C-alpha cells in the first residue's frame, strides 16, 4: 500500500462539478488501496477576489490580517472536498494548516515552513481516512495564521510528502505536465516526460508558474518523488528527476518568462571601490530583492549601473536610487517597467557551445532589442521590451527545435547551425 500526497490547484476545484470530479478520482484511488493525503487550493480566482476586497477596505492592510483573510479560500475547498468524499462512502477529514500543525516562521505573506506534525496525519490515515489539508497556509509559534506566498499550495503538498515520506507527490493542474514553454503562449509546446530538478528550479524561479519555486527547492532538498499531471485528462505527466544526467539529455529543456520586473539605471556614478555597495546597500536595507545587476565600462571614470527589481518595488526603488544619486553625485536615474525577461534553460548547456549565439541571432532576426543579459551554468536570460514577449518566446521555441520530440532531435544539428562561437565559455 502506497502513501500518495495529491495536490489539486484552483482550476481543479473551481466549482462543485470539479470538486465532485476530484472526489471521484480520490475515492477510487483509495478503494484501489492507496493511503491519500490531499492538499487543495482555493477555488480559482478566489485568492485574487479576497485580495481585491482587502484592497478596497485598506490598501495598506496589516499583513497579518491579509493572511487571516486569504486562508479562508482554502478552508472552503477542504470542507467541500471532505464532504464530497464522505458522500461517496470514503471517510475523510479536512484540516486547516494550523490544525495539522504546519508550523512556519512569522513572515506573513511569504512564510517558510519550519516543520509539520506528521503524527497527527498518520493517526487519521491509520483509521483508514483520507486527510484533506488546506494548501498555502500554516501557523507561527504564536498561533497566528500565515500564508506561504502565491502558488504556495504546491509547497504545502511537497512538504507534506517529505514529512510523511510519501511514495509520490502528485501536483494536479490544468496542464498535462511541465511543457517546453507555457502552452498558453506557445501552442506547439511539448510535454516533457522528465525534467531534472535543477532545470525545474530554474524554470520555476524564472517565471514558469506550473510549480512554486519553493516547492521545487523542498523537493530537491528531501528528494521527494514529484510528478506534475492534469486533473482534467489522464496521462503520465512529467516526473521531476534527481539523476545527475539523464540518458538523452536535450540541450535546452524549456523557456520561461516573466513580466514582473522593472529596471533602473543610475547614470554617471564615480567608478570607485564601494560604489556598488553604496548603490545597492540602501535597496537591500529596504528588503527589496534585486535580480540582474549590470555595471557598464567606465568612461572618464564615470559608470552606469543597471539592475532589475520586482515591479511592485519599482516606485520605492526609484525613490531610494534618487536619494543615492544625490549623495554620490551621479548624473541621474532612469527606469522602465515595460520590460519582460525571457530565459532558456537546459543542463545540456554545460557541454555545448552556441546557445547564446542562437538566442541572440533569433531575437535579432525579429529586430528585438536586448536590453540586459545574464547567465548561469544552465540558463541564459535576456530582458526585452514587453510588447515583444510572445513573439520572442515563440521564435526561440522554434529556433531551439523544442517542438520536436527529443529522440528525433540530434544535438549535432544545433551545434552545426552555430559554428561561429566566440568567447564567453560554452554558452556563446
Ligand atoms: P494551479 O492553479 O493548478 O496551481 P497554476 O495556474 O499555478 O495552476 O499553474 C499552471 C499554469 O502554469 C498553466 O495553466 C500554464 O499556463 C502555466 N505554465 C507556465 N509555464 C509552464 C510550463 N513550462 N509548463 C506547463 N505550464 C506552464
Ligand atoms: N490560493 C493560493 C493562490 O492563489 C495558493 C495556491 O493556489 O497555490 O496563490
Ligand atoms: Mg499554482
Residues whose beta carbon lies within 6 Å of some atom of ligand 2: 9-10, 41-42, 47, 73, 135-136, 150-154
Q: What is the pLDDT of residue 220?
A: 97
Query: Residue 156: which of 85, 77, 84, 101 has the closest Cα?
Result: 101
The ligand placed nearest to the CA atom of residue 12 is 1
Q: Looking at the structure, do residues 229 and 265 belong to the same domain, yes or no?
A: no
Strand boundaries in 100-249, DSSP class E:
102-104, 113-116, 130-134, 137-139, 145-147, 168-173, 194-196, 226-230, 238-241
Rounded CA separation 91/170 (Å):
21
3-state secondary structure of 35: strand
Please indicate, yes or no, if residue 275 is contained in any of the structural domains. yes
Query: Per residue in 324-376, pLDDT tens?
Result: 999 999 999 999 999 999 999 998 888 888 899 999 999 999 999 999 999 99
Please indicate, yes or no, if residue 428 is contained in any of the structural domains. no
Q: Please say which residue of 197, 212, 245 terminates a domain.
A: 245
Q: Looking at the structure, do residues 204 and 303 belong to the same domain, yes or no?
A: no
Residue 300 pLDDT class (50, 70, 90 cuts) = confident
Q: What is the pLDDT of residue 249?
A: 67
Q: Looking at the structure, do residues 212 and 266 belong to the same domain, yes or no?
A: no
User: Cell 517529505, residue?
Assistant: 162
Query: Per residue in 219-260, pLDDT tens?
Result: 999 999 999 999 999 999 999 999 866 556 678 999 999 999
Query: What is the position in ligand 2's atom list of the atom closest to the CA of 152?
Result: 8
Q: Evaluate if residue 426 carries a pLDDT over 70.
A: no
Please indicate, yes or no, if residue 424 is contained in any of the structural domains. no
Nearest-CA residue for atom 27 of ligand 1: 182
Query: Per residue in 105-143, pLDDT tens?
Result: 999 999 999 999 999 999 999 999 999 999 999 999 999
The ligand placed nearest to the CA atom of residue 210 is 1
3-state secondary structure of 351: helix
**Whether this model's pTM surpasses 0.85:** yes
Ligand 3: centre distance to CA 274 (Å): 41
Boundaries of domain holding 307: 255-410
Please indicate, yes or no, if residue 423 is contained in any of the structural domains. no
Please indicate, yes or no, if residue 425 is contained in any of the structural domains. no
Rounded CA separation 1/7 (Å):
19
Q: Looking at the structure, do residues 154 and 15 belong to the same domain, yes or no?
A: yes
Q: Looking at the structure, do residues 63 and 81 belong to the same domain, yes or no?
A: yes
Q: What are the φ/ψ torsions at residue 248 (nearest 5 degrees)?
A: -110, 90
Q: How many domains does the chain have?
A: 2
Q: Looking at the structure, do residues 76 and 203 belong to the same domain, yes or no?
A: yes
Confirm if 240 and 202 have CB atoms less than 8 A apart.
no
3-state secondary structure of 118: helix
The mean per-residue pLDDT over the stretch 405-420 comes to 41
Amino acid at each position: 500500500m502506497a502513501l500518495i500526497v495529491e495536490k489539486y490547484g484552483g482550476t481543479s476545484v473551481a466549482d462543485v462539478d470539479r470538486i465532485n470530479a476530484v472526489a471521484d478520482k480520490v475515492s477510487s484511488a483509495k478503494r484501489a488501496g492507496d493511503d491519500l493525503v490531499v492538499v487543495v487550493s482555493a477555488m480559482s480566482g478566489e485568492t485574487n477576489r479576497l485580495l481585491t476586497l482587502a484592497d478596497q477596505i485598506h490598501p495598506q492592510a496589516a499583513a497579518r490580517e491579509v493572511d487571516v483573510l486569504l486562508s479562508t479560500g482554502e478552508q472552503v475547498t477542504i470542507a467541500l472536498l471532505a464532504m464530497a468524499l464522505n458522500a461517496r462512502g470514503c471517510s475523510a477529514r479536512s484540516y486547516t494548516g494550523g490544525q495539522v500543525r504546519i508550523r512556519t516562521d512569522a513572515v506573513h505573506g511569504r512564510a517558510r515552513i519550519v516543520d509539520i506534525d506528521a503524527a497527527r496525519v498518520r493517526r487519521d490515515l491509520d483509521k483508514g481516512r483520507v486527510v484533506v489539508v488546506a494548501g498555502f497556509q500554516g501557523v507561527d509559534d504564536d498561533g497566528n495564521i500565515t500564508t506561504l506566498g502565491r502558488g504556495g499550495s504546491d509547497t504545502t503538498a511537497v512538504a507534506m510528502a517529505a514529512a510523511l515520506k510519501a511514495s509520490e507527490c502528485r501536483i494536479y493542474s490544468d496542464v498535462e505536465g511541465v511543457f517546453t514553454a507555457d502552452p498558453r503562449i506557445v501552442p506547439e509546446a511539448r510535454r516533457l516526460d522528465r525534467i531534472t530538478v535543477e532545470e525545474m528550479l530554474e524554470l520555476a524561479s524564472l517565471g514558469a508558474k506550473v510549480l512554486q519555486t519553493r516547492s521545487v527547492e523542498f523537493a530537491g532538498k528531501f528528494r521527494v518523488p514529484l510528478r506534475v499531471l492534469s486533473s482534467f485528462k489522464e496521462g503520465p505527466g512529467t516526473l521531476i528527476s534527481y539523476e545527475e544526467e539523464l540518458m538523452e539529455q536535450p540541450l535546452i529543456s524549456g523557456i520561461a518568462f516573466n513580466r514582473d520586473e522593472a529596471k533602473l539605471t543610475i547614470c554617471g556614478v564615480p567608478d570607485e571601490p564601494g560604489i556598488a555597495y553604496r548603490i545597492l546597500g540602501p535597496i537591500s536595507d529596504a528588503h527589496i530583492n534585486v535580480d540582474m545587476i549590470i555595471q557598464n565600462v567606465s568612461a572618464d571614470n564615470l559608470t552606469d549601473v543597471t539592475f532589475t527589481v520586482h515591479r511592485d518595488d519599482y516606485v520605492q526603488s526609484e525613490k531610494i536610487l534618487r536619494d543615492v544619486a544625490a549623495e554620490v553625485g551621479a548624473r541621474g536615474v532612469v527606469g522602465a517597467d515595460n520590460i519582460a525577461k525571457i530565459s532558456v534553460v537546459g543542463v545540456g548547456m554545460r557541454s555545448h557551445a552556441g546557445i547564446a549565439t542562437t538566442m541572440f541571432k533569433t531575437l535579432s532576426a525579429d529586430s528585438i532589442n536586448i536590453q540586459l543579459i545574464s547567465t548561469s551554468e544552465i540558463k541564459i536570460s535576456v530582458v526585452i521590451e514587453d510588447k515583444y514577449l510572445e513573439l520572442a518566446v515563440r521564435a526561440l521555441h522554434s529556433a531551439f527545435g523544442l517542438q520536436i520530440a527529443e529522440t528525433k532531435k540530434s544535438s549535432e544539428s544545433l551545434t552545426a547551425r552555430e559554428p561561429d562561437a566566440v568567447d564567453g565559455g560554452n554558452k556563446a
